[in-house]
Structures are given as C-alpha cells and as structure tokens.
C-alpha cells in the first residue's frame, strides 16, 4: 500500500496521458482497419489528433509558462504550409510515411524559427501586453501567407508577393496561390502518424515540465520576482518554453494541413487560436490529461449536435458555458471533491483525502 502511494505525481500523469492515448489507439485502430467505425468518426480522427497536439503545445505556454498566447494558430499555419510545400517539392517516388515525417519535421523547424523571431520581442512583455502582441503576430502571419505565391518547377522554388503569373514558372506547378491557399495537396496524414505525434508531444512536454528547465519555467509563472532573485534567467527560460511550444504547434499544423486537399491561410485566424485556448482552459491550465479529454469532447460536440441543425451552434455555446461554470464554480468543486472523497474512502482506510491529486 505504501509503495503505491509513493508513486509521484509525475509518474501518475505520465501513466494517465500515455495510457489514455495508447488504449484509445489500440481500440480504434483495429476497428478503423475493419471498417467498423462510421465515416463521421473516422473523418474526425486526424483533426482531433492535430488539435490535441495543438492544445498540448498551447498548454505549455498558457499553463506552465503562464503567458496568454492568442496567436497560436499562426504557428500552426506556418507548420501547415511549410509541410505542404515540403511534400510538393519531394519526389513522387518516395513512400508517403517518409514524406509525412519530413513535412512534420520541417513544419516544426519553420514554426520554431518563427517562434524565435516573434519570441525575442514578445517575451520581454508580460500579461495582457504579451497576449495582444501575440494576437497581432498571428494576424500578421495570416496576412503574409494570404499574399504569398509559391510555385515549383525544374529549377526550384519560385516566390512572389504579387500574383501567380509573376512566378514565371516553366511547366511547374503552383503550390501556394495567394488567398486561394494550397490546392491539390496530397492527403498523406494518417491516424497512426497522428497518434505518434501526440505521444511525441506528450513525451517532450511532460519531460520538459518535470526537468530543471520546467521547474524554472513554473517558478517564473508563480512568482517572477522571486524567480529572478534566485538567479533564474527569465528571458532564457521563457523563450525556451515559447519556442518548444511553437515547434510542436508547427508539427501539428503539418499533420493538419496534409489531411485536407486544400488549406487556406484564412482558416488559421483569431478564431482558431481562441478555439484551442478554449480546449486548454476547459481541460485545465497545466493539466495535460484534462486537455486531451477536453479537446476530444469539444471538437466532437458540434459534429454530434448536427441533428439540431439550426440550433447547433447555440447549443454548443450553451454547453460550453455550462461546462465552464460546472468546472469552475467553487460550489461545484466542493461537490466534486465530496464525490471523489467517497470513492477514496472506499479504497483507503485512512482517507486523508488529498483529493486534488486525483
């Protein structure tokens, strides 16, 4: 009994996170292969994977670093478009998993570079100011991609900010056509790759949080002045967390982009950033298992509500409000703790009830 009680919080979170993903995969994958899942659900699987990775990534910034980022969709967008361009430039003979891996890696790197560029000015700010600036950067990224034309032919990549004609392609193809976005993307994203990406993101974030760097990051969140006074380099640790978060978001973007035959920059606007923030807030700041569950449920909810047709989004909003109230009101918390306490008492004789750990 005592041995099991000593399981650290870290191990418990790990077991919960990995266990949840692996069990869900082990159940869903064979069913998917045997066509036992409806088209609706199987179509949702890959976007859910991408959004879970996005939410894990944003939770690093919002939950552990404690800074509100409202431009996270910008990183996703950069990852998505660099992933799509990577695949379009690669030889068609290569197997799809290799292409997908390359796209995800390059998507992550590009988003990371952007994270660094944005991070240097942004990370010097805090609180509301940082939120506004990230919001602005998200819009800038969207608008730049909106007027970017990229094509590929025998002599390599061509860029233009003017029009598709200005690319001067000699019998090549246009990859990114300004506001029309990328069209004719080869859909190579798979559910298996999505699950692997979630596991990778979990591995990075969970270990980071439990490392020296992670403790420094949470210390900055809890009390910036105290952290500074014990010699923690605030800018360095904040920037590290911000860039890692951007890299993971870029990877999620690449997975997302390669799941649809067309993507446009318009998709990655303020609303998408807020949507991911809602996943994180509902799942709990700094609570990774909660984030995974919240993302899955909230993403599926509007699709499950389709039978209500016109009232669908209204019901979605009401459910959202109720859930937020239920999870956050003190009374509901006391109630939930009581219920958890009853279960705990059944399991433990002493029942001293460190309920928040459950």
Partner 1 sequence: MKKFTKIASLALTAVMAATCLAGCGAGSSTSGSASEDKKVIKIGGIGPLTGAAAIYGQAVKNGAEIALDEVNAKGDLKFELKFEDDENDAEKAVNAYNNLKDWGMQVSMGTVTTQPCIAVSAESNSDGMFALTPSASAPDVVKDKDFMFQMCFSDPNQGVASAKYIKEQNLGEKIAIIYNNSDVYSTGIYQKFTSEAQNQGLNVVCVKTFTDDSANDFTSQLNEIKAAGADLVYLPIYYTPASLILTQAKKMQYEPKFFGVDGMDGILTLEGFDKSLAEGVMLLTPFTADAQDEATKSFVKKYNEKYKETPNQFAADGYDVVNAIYEACKKAGITGDMTSEEIGKKLVDTFTSADFKIDGITGTGMTWSKDGEVSKEPKGMVIKNGAYVGM
Does 351 interact with partner 1 (rule: CB under 8 A)? no
**Is residue 43 within 8 Å of 206, Cβ to Cβ?**
no
**Burial of 336: CB neighbours in 10 Å, binned 0-12, 13-18, 19+:** middle
Query: Closest separation between CB of residue 164 and partner 1, Å?
Result: 7
Q: E-strand spans in 240-354?
A: 262-263
Could you tell me which stretch among 28-36, 70-78, 94-102, 327-335 binds partner 1 (CB under 8 A)?
28-36
Contact by Cβ (8 Å): 217, 70: no
> Is the CB of residue 51 less than 8 Å from the CB of residue 303?
no
CB-based contact 175:150 (threshold 8 Å)? yes
SS (H, E, C) 66-113: CCCCCCHHHHHHHHHHHHHHHHHHCCCCCCHHHHHHHHHHHHHHHHHH
CB 214 to partner 1: min, Å: 24
What single-letter DSSP state applies at residue 180? G
Closest approach of Cβ 17 to partner 1, in Å? 10
Per-residue binding string, partner 1, 39-58, x by CB under 8 A, is xxxxxx--x-----------
In angstroms, what is the minimal distance from the CB of 224 to partner 1? 35
Task: Tell which one of 80, 247, 264, 294 touches partner 1 (CB under 8 A).
Answer: 264
Stretch that binds partner 1, among 82-90, 227-235, 275-283, 309-317 (CB under 8 A): 309-317
Among 187, 236, 338, 345, binds partner 1 (CB under 8 A): 187
Residue 228: partners with Cβ closer than 8 Å, 6 or more residues away: 234
Shortest distance (Å) from residue 184 CB to partner 1 = 7
What is the x/- site pattern for partner 1, positions 148-167, by CB under 8 A?
---------------xxx--
CB of 9 to partner 1, least distance (A): 13
Residue found under tokens 């973007």? 253
**Joined tokens for residue 331:** 């009374």
For the stretch 207-213, contacts whose Cβ atoms lie closer than 8 Å and that sit 24 or more positions apart, written own/partner, are: 208/60, 208/241, 208/244, 209/60, 209/64, 210/10, 213/237, 213/240, 213/241
* Residues 220 to 259 in contact with partner 1, rule: CB under 8 A: none
For residue 8, state whether it binds partner 1 (rule: CB under 8 A). no
Q: Which residues form the interface with partner 1 (CB under 8 A)?
A: 1, 4-5, 7, 12, 15-16, 19-20, 23-24, 27-28, 31, 36-44, 47, 143, 146-147, 163-165, 178-181, 183-184, 187, 260-264, 266-267, 302-303, 306, 309-310, 312-313, 347-348
């Amino acid at each position: 009994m005592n041995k099991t009680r000593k399981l650290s919080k870290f191990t418990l979170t790990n077991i919960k996170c990995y266990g949840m993903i692996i069990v869900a995969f082990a159940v869903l994958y064979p069913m998917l292969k045997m066509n036992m899942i409806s088209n609706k659900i199987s179509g949702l699987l890959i976007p859910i994977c991408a959004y879970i990775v996005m939410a894990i990534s944003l939770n690093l910034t919002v939950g552990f670093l404690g800074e509100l980022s409202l431009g996270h969709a910008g990183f996703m967008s950069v990852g998505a478009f660099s992933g799509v361009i990577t695949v379009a430039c690669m030889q068609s003979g290569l197997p799809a998993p290799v292409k997908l891996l390359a796209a995800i890696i390059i998507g992550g790197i590009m988003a990371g570079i952007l994270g660094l560029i944005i991070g240097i000015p942004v990370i010097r700010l805090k609180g509301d100011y940082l939120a506004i600036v990230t919001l602005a950067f998200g819009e800038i990224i969207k608008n730049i991609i909106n007027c970017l034309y990229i094509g590929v032919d025998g002599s390599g990549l061509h860029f233009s900010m003017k029009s598709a004609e200005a690319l001067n392609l000699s019998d090549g193809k246009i990859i990114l056509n300004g506001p029309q976005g990328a069209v004719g993307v080869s859909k190579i994203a798979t559910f298996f790759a999505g699950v692997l990406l979630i596991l990778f993101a979990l591995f990075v974030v969970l270990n980071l949080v439990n490392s020296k760097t992670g403790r420094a990051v949470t210390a900055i969140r809890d009390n910036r002045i105290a952290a500074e006074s014990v010699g923690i380099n605030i800018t360095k640790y904040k920037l590290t967390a911000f860039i890692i978060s951007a890299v993971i978001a870029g990877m999620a973007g690449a997975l997302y982009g390669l799941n649809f035959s067309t993507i446009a920059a318009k998709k990655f606007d303020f609303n998408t950033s807020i949507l991911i923030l809602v996943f994180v807030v509902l799942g709990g700041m700094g609570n990774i298992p909660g984030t995974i569950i919240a993302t899955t449920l909230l993403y599926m909810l509007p699709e499950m509500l389709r039978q209500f047709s016109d009232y669908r989004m209204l019901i979605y909003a009401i459910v959202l409000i109720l859930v937020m109230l239920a999870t956050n009101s003190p009374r509901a918390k006391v109630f939930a703790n009581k219920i958890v306490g009853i279960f705990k008492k059944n399991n433990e004789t002493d029942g001293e009830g460190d309920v928040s750990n459950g």
